[in-house]
Amino acid sequence: MSNPGILFDETMLKRNEDQDEDILTIVDECDRCTKIGFLPEVEASYLGLLIHVMDLTSLNSTDNQKTIEALVDKALTYTKKMLKTDIENMASNHSCEIHNYFTTSTLTPQTVCVSSVRVSDAVQSINCQNEHIDIASVAGGFPMGQVPLSSRITEVEYAISQGAAEIDIVIDRGLANLGDFNRLYHDLRSIKSVCVNGDVTLKTILSVTELDSYHTVYKMAMTAMMAGSDFIKTSTGKEAENATLSHGVIMCQAIKKYHNATGYKVGIKPAGGIKFNEQALSWLILVKNQLGNDWLKASLFRIGASSLLEDVVKRLSIVLKKLQTNY
């Protein structure tokens, strides 16, 4: 169920400082799991999940119809093409659970994520293919978010009218660092109402490394959820520094508290600078350990990345070969 949001409640912004003590332990545990490695069956299913929850992204100033066509083609064909032989070879063992997993799941990213002006290009490219993929559009004056609310709303309406099924909105980080969460709540609430009318998923990009403290990250995460965000997302991918797992812990703490207080589950989307399968696996372990297996699905977990798919597919091919030789 999507998150309808709640009335702004200042008391929800309070965070217990004792929670800081756990952050390093939690991060160490995620890194340790990834470094030790996984059983091949487990790693294969995690890598498959990473592909399935990926928002394959292109947010470049040079994007045009041709580059978006290539993005859509990559989303719909790359994994199948690269893993065709490995999956066919697995077909020799029909009793294998992992074989079933890879022959029944689509191995297609969840969305292609593009700028609002490129949504119509993505629609055109998808219409030329036999398969569908949803389109996510960044909006709100991406990446800075320093535009009037009326322009942000107009951009969201435009992206939806062009065919976006999901909106990744940026916040005004300046307001967050001033502590004006009430204003941020009302801005996001107006954007949520446009998304609700269009039956569209709303992801709110916090740009965590541009916020001035963990407390601000927590308060902003909570504000975004109270305003009705279906996901909270770490970064635009354009910040000088990328989000760390420590920021992820804070976001998970906020998601847990919001879930306990309201019963609504909000998703998490790490994004920005995630290029290697090990990085993505550490985020997966963080989400699994902190939020539980319920969150390991596309409605509650995404990874936003422009250059991760190749590395995940490369690793998955190695793991599938290893599984073959293990039979």
> Rounded to the nearest whole angstrom, what is the least distance from the CB of residue 262 to ligand G3H in the complex?
26
Q: What are phi and psi of 156, to 5 degrees?
A: -65, -45
Tell the residue number behind the tokens 């992206």, with chain if given: 159
> Rounded to the nearest whole angstrom, what is the least distance from the CB of residue 238 to ligand G3H in the complex?
7
Q: Does 237 bind ligand G3H (CB under 6 A)?
A: yes
By CB under 6 A, what part of segment 100-159 binds ligand G3H?
Answer: 113
- DSSP character string of 156-199: HHHHHHHT-SEEEEEP-HHHHHHT-HHHHHHHHHHHHHHHHHHT
> Rounded to the nearest whole angstrom, what is the least distance from the CB of residue 306 to ligand G3H in the complex?
3
**Ramachandran class of 255: left when φ > 0, alpha when ψ lies in -120 to 50, beta otherwise:** alpha
By CB under 6 A, what part of segment 193-232 binds ligand G3H?
Answer: none
Per annotation, catalytic residue among 257, 265, 269, 288 = 269
| Both structure tokens of 107 | 């191995």
User: What is d(CA 10, CA 23) in angstroms, rounded to the nearest whole number?
Assistant: 24
Among 272, 281, 291, 323, binds ligand G3H (CB under 6 A): 272
> Rounded to the nearest whole angstrom, what is the least distance from the CB of residue 252 to ligand G3H in the complex?
19
Q: Is 233 labeled as catalytic in the residue annotation?
A: yes
Closest listed residue to residue 243, CA positions, set 25, 22, 12, 27 = 27
Q: Does 277 bind ligand G3H (CB under 6 A)?
A: no
CA distances for 198 relative to 4, 7, 154, 159, 164, angstroms: 14, 21, 13, 10, 9
By CB under 6 A, what part of segment 280-319 binds ligand G3H?
Answer: 304-307
Q: Is 269 labeled as catalytic in the residue annotation?
A: yes
Per annotation, catalytic residue among 203, 219, 233, 257 = 233
Among 160, 273, 279, 315, binds ligand G3H (CB under 6 A): 273
User: What is d(CA 112, CA 108) in angstroms, rounded to the nearest whole number?
Assistant: 10
Q: Does 45 bind ligand G3H (CB under 6 A)?
A: no
Closest listed residue to residue 286, CA positions, set 274, 276, 296, 277 = 296
Residue 195 or 305 having the CB closest to ligand G3H: 305
Enumerate binding residues for ligand G3H (CB under 6 A).
Answer: 57, 59, 113, 236-237, 271-274, 304-307
Which residues form the catalytic set? 233, 269
